Amino acid sequence: MNYKLSNSLDTEVDILLSFNKDEVDTVMIKDLTGLPDFQFNGELDENLMLFTDSGNKVFLLGLGEKNEKCKLRSAFQKFAFRHFKYLQKDLQVDLRNFGDDQIIDALTGLTMASYQMGVFKTEKKDIPEVKYHFLSERSIDDQISEGVAVGESINNIRALIDAPPNQKTPEFLASHVTASAKKHGYKCEVKEKATLEDEGFGALLAVGAGSKNEPRLIKMTYTPKEGADIDIALVGKGITFDSGGLSIKPSQNLHYLKSDMGGAAAVIGAVELVAKLKLKVNVIGIVASAENAVDAESFRPGDVIKSYSGKTIEIIDTDAEGRLVLADGLSYVIKNYKPKRVIDLATLTGSVVRTLAYSAAGMFTNNEEMANSLKQIGENIDEKVWQLPLYKEFESDLHSDLADIRNFSNKPIAGAITAAKFLEAFTEDHDSWLHLDIAGVSFGDSEFSKMKSASGYGVRLLVQYIKTLS
């Protein structure tokens, strides 16, 4: 980001002032604009553009009630996104009353506003970079860099989720992570099909069998504390396109199933950001990636497959594929690395969307401490989670006569819960496992695009949680 720091207001340059509700500094605004009156009281996301006598712009941004500070990131993102065409000169941003976290959030929002979706347009709009001047009476370079780092990692995963499925194959995700690892100082190892076969990743291979784009298991390792245990493992569902397989989905809105790797993207963004911020936490990220395609080679409803854990699975529905790739990812990382905590993220079920709509991720865990921590962080940053139960009585819904377990209850009820119960069977009785079903929050409608697009959900939630472990 191109920026300058200064400690006092320059009336020769455009300025952005932000205020909480009913805390608007009317004297300052009257001094700047000469206006006797203006209608602005700092409601959340309220924007007003005024002018000084010499024709410079004075933008006002409402931050809402003080306890809505969690929405500061999106208020800044929306402001800059809405006003890009007016931000072509230098813009001073008054951060003089902001604490460290508020500066980070504001910078994250401004950075997120510059995300460009039209990467495949033949005629690209040439949008000049905004030249920011940040006003503060203290040194805030570190907070600015952190906010930009957060925003850039989020934008990187938004680009992955929004990318078309003919581009983002499992191999493409693996190359993306390999490049990110090199750039940001963490390790990446990719297991290709032959290795997956040798090592027994039967569930991941079954899901990917119908696609010429072969599956990959991508392992990210960031371990600054040499010789110490893995503090946390993150596992992401990386289905680059979910046609449903032979249990094929209806065609309406099928194009949106390119976003079925939102869990993988959150894991990729979080590990990248932890490495950029050099947090003193040992982290492993696993992406289990495949394309769920329709083909003569596709796995079938009725098949029995053998997972990495050794457990056999009867396939009832090939559209319940996310839990299969996660099963192999979870048991692989738990058996081989014995991490202290495990969080998996997946756009796993339509059921969670019917339950919580677009408001929160469904959270399932056997560890109440982790649950409370994520709930608190989620509320603070507006990436909410809502806990749902893992009752034992759902176990019988996954009973198979032929195999150890089946992948779908075949009942139209409690789909997010039975999916989580399925995953639980592959956690090797780990006592600190938490599953987030992010199908409703990872990708959806917003003012930033005409069709559905990636929200970037999960990166800040995971990294703020990981910060509490350092």
Binding residues for Zn ion (CB under 5 A): 239, 242, 260, 319, 321-322
| Part in contact with ligand BES (CB under 6 A); list of ranges 65-73, 106-114, 116-124, 343-351 | 343-351
Cβ proximity to Zn ion: between 52 and 289 the closer is: 289
Binding of residue 320 to ligand BES (CB under 6 A): yes
Q: What is the DSSP string of 282-344?
A: -EEEEEEEEEE--STTS--TT-EEE-TTS-EEE-S-TT--HHHHHHHHHHHHHHHH--SEEEE
Please, what is the minimum distance in Å from the beta carbon of residue 170 to ligand BES?
Answer: 16
Binding of residue 317 to ligand BES (CB under 6 A): yes
- Using CB distances below 5 to 8 A depending on partner kind, what does residue 351 bind out of ligand BES, Zn ion, none? ligand BES
In the chain, the amino acid numbered 263 is: G
Cβ proximity to ligand BES: between 63 and 419 the closer is: 419
User: Which helix (H) or strand (E) is 183 found in, with range?
Assistant: helix 170-184
Binding of residue 224 to ligand BES (CB under 6 A): no
364 burial via Cβ count (<10 Å: 0-12, 13-18, 19+)? buried
What is the dihedral angle through the alpha carbons of 227, 373, 155, 193, rounded to the nearest 10 degrees? 50
What part of residues 437-466 is at the interface with ligand BES (CB under 6 A)?
A: 439
Please, what is the minimum distance in Å from the beta carbon of residue 242 to Zn ion?
Answer: 4
What part of residues 402-441 is at the interface with ligand BES (CB under 6 A)?
A: 408, 415, 439
The one among 153, 289, 347, 365 contacting ligand BES by CB under 6 A: 347
Q: Which residues pair with 453 in a beta bridge?
A: 444
The one among 105, 321, 328, 424 contacting ligand BES by CB under 6 A: 321
| Part in contact with ligand BES (CB under 6 A); list of ranges 128-136, 145-153, 313-321, 359-367 | 313-321
Q: 289: number of CA atoms within 13 Å, CB side?
A: 34
Please, what is the minimum distance in Å from the beta carbon of residue 363 to ligand BES?
Answer: 16
Cβ proximity to Zn ion: between 180 and 247 the closer is: 247
| Part in contact with ligand BES (CB under 6 A); list of ranges 47-55, 174-182, 205-213, 346-354 | 346-354
Binding of residue 260 to ligand BES (CB under 6 A): yes
Cβ proximity to ligand BES: between 94 and 260 the closer is: 260
| Part in contact with ligand BES (CB under 6 A); list of ranges 149-157, 219-227, 319-327, 445-453 | 319-327
How many residues belong to the site for ligand BES (CB under 6 A)?
14
Q: 189 vs 19, 60, 221, 235, 392, CA distance in Å?
A: 47, 48, 8, 14, 36
**Beta carbons of 22 and 65 less than 8 angstroms apart:** no
Residue with tokens 């969080």: 343
Please, what is the minimum distance in Å from the beta carbon of residue 292 to ligand BES?
Answer: 7
Q: 13 vs 10, 79, 317, 340, CA distance in Å?
A: 6, 18, 61, 52
Cβ proximity to Zn ion: between 319 and 383 the closer is: 319
**Beta carbons of 244 and 291 less than 8 angstroms apart:** no
Residue with tokens 């692989």: 332
Please, what is the minimum distance in Å from the beta carbon of residue 354 to ligand BES?
Answer: 9
| C-alpha to C-alpha distance for 368 and 434, rounded to whole angstroms | 10
What is the dihedral angle through the alpha carbons of 295, 297, 299, 304, rounded to the nearest 10 degrees? 160
What part of residues 107-146 is at the interface with ligand BES (CB under 6 A)?
A: none
Q: Which residues pair with 342 in a beta bridge?
A: 233, 433
Catalytic residues: 249, 323
Please, what is the minimum distance in Å from the beta carbon of residue 260 to ligand BES?
Answer: 4
Q: Which residues bind ligand BES (CB under 6 A)?
A: 242, 260, 317, 319-322, 347, 349-351, 408, 415, 439
